[in-house]
Amino acid sequence: MKIYIQNHAQFAGYFIYKGYAHAWIYSGYPVELIDSLKQIKDKQYMLMITDGFINDEKDLEYVEKSKKCFLYASANNFPKPWGNHPNYKCSLNVDYITLLNNMSNVVKWTFCDVDKQVYNLWDNVNTVLLAFDDISYDIANSNSKKYKYDVCFIGGYANNGFNEKIKIMQELLNHLGDSNLRCGFSVGQNISHELENEIIASSKIPINIHDEYQRVLGYDCNERTYKSLGINGFLISDKINQLNRIFPKTPTTNDKNEFLNHCLEYASMDLSEIKKSNRDNILKNHTYKSRVKQLLEL
């Protein structure tokens, strides 16, 4: 049976749903990316979409007729001040949400830790974490003992409405850049997939930076968490509650001086055993293939 997946052209959604597409294909399902539910031609199909993909009653009919719809549910009551911005609001009205809640074929999920006050209109929202796309990324060359960089970071400013992340990134990356560490940083450069893989694999320590709301609320960590641990095997990150819960041995701090000290300390250590253990854990428990299996079991 074919699964239709919403096409995400940019930002994190592009990598997340690309990872899912690879995993569905690996699991034996034909995949087609669509820009509208009205492109569906099959009589029997499954869906993987976000609630923002549903625009009218015809779209609701496509959801209702699907064998299974894995629906990413946006928060109904996102905490302030972020909840004041359209980027953090569910676009569906209460009537549509009620109809979807009553469809037995609809599996609602989010990669966040679910706070029922935040998802106050949805019933039975499941947490399905983000993951590592082990089909796209090559980990074969990530065991080098001759690292090109001590620390690396690859990402974008990703202004989600409040433009808070740029200040966090600039402050930390400039602080690390002023040290004696060999830094491989690429911010907003849209580097190739192959070069990204090479830089992460040839660095001793990938680092991670999240948005302000993620730091304060702690509901979710970004895809870079899994990518860094999957390719490289090690990570130093800012402090996020979900990340600390899932990967408790990962060093985390929001203090730039302590962050630098972590980097200096671990850059001087032999991390080979830690990296192997972390990569093994990712490949066993945190790939998109394992997330597809989890969705199918819901």
Whole-number Å distance between alpha carbons of 170 and 34 = 36
Walk me through the domains of the chain, giving residue ranges and CATH numbers.
2-128 (3.40.50), 149-285 (3.40.50.2000)
**Of residues 203, 210, 111, the one with CA closest to residue 155:** 210
* pLDDT tens, residue by residue, 174-201: 999 999 999 999 998 888 888 999 999 9
Task: Please report the pLDDT score of residue 141 as a whole number.
Answer: 56
Diameter of the chain measured on Cα atoms = 61
Question: What's the predicted TM-score (pTM) here?
Answer: 0.94
Whole-number Å distance between alpha carbons of 246 and 267 = 23
**Helices (DSSP H) in 89-235: which residue ranges?**
94-101, 165-177, 193-201, 212-217, 223-231
Contact 151, 176 (CB under 8 A): yes
Tokens of 297: 């079991």
Mean local confidence (pLDDT), 111-124: 96
Confidence band (pLDDT; 50, 70, 90) for 160?
confident
Task: Please report the pLDDT score of residue 199 as a whole number.
Answer: 94
- For residue 162, pLDDT over 80 is answered with yes
